[in-house]
Structure 1
Amino acid sequence: MPELPEVEVTRLGIEPHLLGQVVSDVSIRQPRLRYPVPDDLAGRLSGLRVEAVRRRAKYLLIDFAVGSLLIHLGMSGSLRILAADSPAEKHDHFDLVLGATILRLRDPRRFGAVLWLPHPPEAHPLLAGLGLEPLGAGFDGAALQNMCAGRKTPIKLLIMDGHLLVGVGNIYASESLFRARIHPATPAGRLSRARCERLAQCIRETLQDALAAGGSTLRDFLHSDGSAGYFQQQYFAYGRAGEACRVCGGKINKRVMGQRATFFCPRCQRLPSGGKV
């Protein structure tokens, strides 16, 4: 699934082609995505000018004067900027037509979403309960410590909880915890302020490094220009079960936590025995 860096790279890729453009039409070839695509989008959007292109968690928001178009890439979706006469292929389900240019959603698994949100979009149920943005000014060690306080939840599951902290998916949670040298099963409430400061910094750095590398390319995900991301070449933990740790030479382990594969080095990321860590 595209995670926060991939969605942000997509936003940066499509934004210059959308800002200030006027919608001339909408093409819906497959309305049955994760949620039904509204069949009145053409009537709502035609003639409207794109005011902004934003990201909230893993959702993209294309803002107009009277509302916002919400797009979620699901498990395998991608957005491309193409010429308006580009022929549609099998999994090309939605086009936003902007004169000679189109924004096209390709979604082989159809777990994505295209929805219309009236102002304010943040009040919509999909957005209202979202947590802090890890790259936002409000996220730091103190904020993370407040999230962790009194919780026995494993720290990996806590930082992946979108009601607390958005956009830190499985890949970047594993990588951030490795950088911070924290075992993923460590109870969140046992992390000291210093460790929370370190982990918050590592989450930000991991996401920023992934952005600089164009994100990670997994399965069907490509950027808006058809290019791939390369952050997977920098992984220290994720997907490296049985391989040598790039820091200590030990073996990367894999276990399932919260129904997700979790990768860690038992030497570099020791599980604490008691007290604050």
Structure 2
Amino acid sequence: MPELPEVETTRRKIEPLLRGRVIQGVEHDAPHKYRDTHLAVGRRVQGLSRRGKYLMLQLAAADAADGEAHDLEFIVHLGMTGGFRLEPGQHTRVTLTLEPEGTGDGQTLFFNDPRRFGKMAVVRPGEYAGMPTLAAMGPEPLSDDFNEGDFVRLAREAGAVKPWLLSQKPVSGVGNIYADESLWQAKIHPAQTRLTESEGKSLYTAIRDVMENAVEAGGSSLGNGVGNYRQHDGVSGLFQHEHHVYGKGGQPCPRCGTDIAKIVLAQRGTHFCPKCQVLKERSGEGKRSNRQTV
């Protein structure tokens, strides 16, 4: 699934194609998945931002002056396999047509989504009642809003740390890949609960480091399947070459040489080093073990 680095890379790549253009048409055959997209037709794209794993097009009237407040947002969630392309394909679900700018050519973007989990909606700014994850999302990990002290305080009361991160509430945009990588860097077991202050600080630093490096690398492209992440021009991300544990089950930990273990935690495949990331018993909890390897 595209996570923050992949979605941010997508935003950076397609924003120049969208900014300033008037949307001429939005074609699809699934109104329950792509809600109220007809409201975008005739609107100018003032900008393209990102919140966690969501893309957000700011829309205003076609004759709106530069800098005028937008009155609609076109929300896009890529799902597990969604992405924009310059050419239609077997799995094209949405066609977005933009009017020419000046004497130039128009632009058409095709939203391809083999597994059909992607979603879109046009809403008033901030009206996210139909998107509870977006409405309750935590701070951006690379922003000043992601405060170490606040994160450490929340982590002290957290349940199993990886599912907690995946909830998007303590910090936005962290999915399966980057949770595993951040926890490995911080030397914290994915099922660890109630992080100490030092563990919380280590994890905070690791999340920022991993996310920053992944964004710089253009995200992670895994395998060669039709649904794997690529950019609109077919370019792959490069951060998969820097993965230490994700997808490395049975391979040696690059830090200590112990075989990387894989468990299922909260129904998600989870990778960690049993030696570097020991599950610690906290006061008031029963004994647990690392015998969850599958």
Q: TM-score, normalised by structure 1?
A: 0.88
Is the aligned partner of 1:117 residue 2:127? Answer: no
C-alpha distance in structure 1 between counterparts of 2:128 and 2:47, whole Å: 15
User: Contact conserved, 2:156 with 2:196, CA < 8 A, in 1?
Assistant: no
Q: What does residue range 73-84 of structure 1 map to in structure 2 within 5 Å? A: 73-80=78-85, 82=86
| Preserved contact between residue 53 and residue 62 of structure 1 (Cα < 8 Å) | yes
Question: What is the aligned partner in structure 1 of residue 66 from structure 2?
Answer: none
1:266 to 255, 268, 274: 274
Is the CA contact 1:93–1:106 (under 8 Å) kept in the aligned structure 2?
A: yes
The verdict on how the C-alpha distance between 1:46 and 1:150 changes in structure 2, with shifts beyond 3 A counting, is closer
- Counterparts of 1:247 and 1:36, CA distance in 2: 44
- Distance in 2 between the 1:241 and 1:23 partners? 46
The answer to whether the 8 A contact 1:68-1:121 is kept is no
Q: Which residue is 2:30 aligned to?
A: 31
SS of corresponding position for 2:185: helix
Equivalent pairs, count: 262
TM-score normalised by structure 2 residue count: 0.83
Corresponding residue for residue 54 of structure 1: 49
User: Aligned partners of 1:110 and 1:238: how far apart in 2?
Assistant: 24
State the secondary structure of the residue aligned to 2:152: helix
Going from structure 1 to structure 2, the CA distance change for 1:246 and 1:136 (only over 3 Å counts) comes to same
Aligned-partner SS, 1:207 = helix
2:156 equivalent to 1:149: yes
**What amino acid is aligned across from residue 243 of structure 1 in structure 2?**
Q
User: 1:13 is matched with which residue?
Assistant: 13
Of stretches 156-165 and 93-102 in structure 1, the one that deviates more from structure 2 is 156-165
Q: Indicate how the Cα distance of structure 1 residues 144 and 94 shifts in structure 2: closer, same or farther if over 3 A, else same.
A: same
Shift of 1:172: 0.5
Match of 1:174 in 2: 180
Structure 1 unmatched ranges of 5 or more? none
Give the match for residue 222 of structure 1.
230
Q: Could you say if the C-alpha distance between residues 118 and 242 of structure 1 is closer, same or farther in structure 2, counting changes exceeding 3 Å?
A: same
Matched residue of 2:163: which SS? helix
Q: Kindly tell me: are residues 274 and 164 of structure 1, through their superposed partners in 2, closer, same or farther at Cα, counting changes over 3 Å? A: closer
Question: 1:121 offset after TM fit, Å?
Answer: 4.1
Deviation at 1:54, TM superposition (A): 0.8
The answer (yes or no) to whether the contact 1:3–1:167 under 8 Å persists in 2 is yes
Question: Residue 224 of structure 1: CA displacement?
Answer: 2.0
Query: Which amino acid in 1 is paired with 2:77?
Result: H
Please state how far the C-alpha of 1:260 moved relative to its aligned partner: 0.9
Q: Does 1:41 align with 2:48?
A: no
Write the distance in 2 (CA, Å) between the matches of 1:123 and 1:136: 24
Q: Match for 1:64: what amino acid?
A: L
> Is the 1:141–1:199 contact (alpha carbons within 8 Å) kept by the matching residues of 2?
no
Q: Report the alpha carbon displacement of residue 211 of structure 1 after superposing the two structures with TM.
A: 0.9
- Pick aligned residue for 1:138 from 145, 151, 162: 145
Q: How far apart in 2 are the matches of 1:36 and 1:274?
A: 44
Q: Say if 1:67 and 1:121, in contact at 8 Å, map to a contact too.
A: no
Question: Corresponding residue for 2:58?
Answer: 63
Q: 1:196 aligns with which of 184, 200, 204?
A: 200
| Distance in 2 of aligned mates of 1:128 and 1:24 | 29
Per the TM alignment, residue 113 of structure 1 is displaced from its structure 2 partner at its CA by 0.7
- Of 126-135 and 50-59, deviating more is 126-135
C-alpha RMSD of the superposition: 1.8
How far apart, CA to CA, are the structure 2 residues paired with 1:249 and 1:93? Answer: 45
Change (3 A) 1:149 1:268: closer
Segments of structure 2 that go 5 or more residues without pairing to the other structure are 61-70, 100-105, 284-294
Label 1:238 to 1:18 Cα distance change in 2 as closer, same or farther (>3 A).
Answer: same
Contact 1:237 1:264 in 2 (8 A): yes
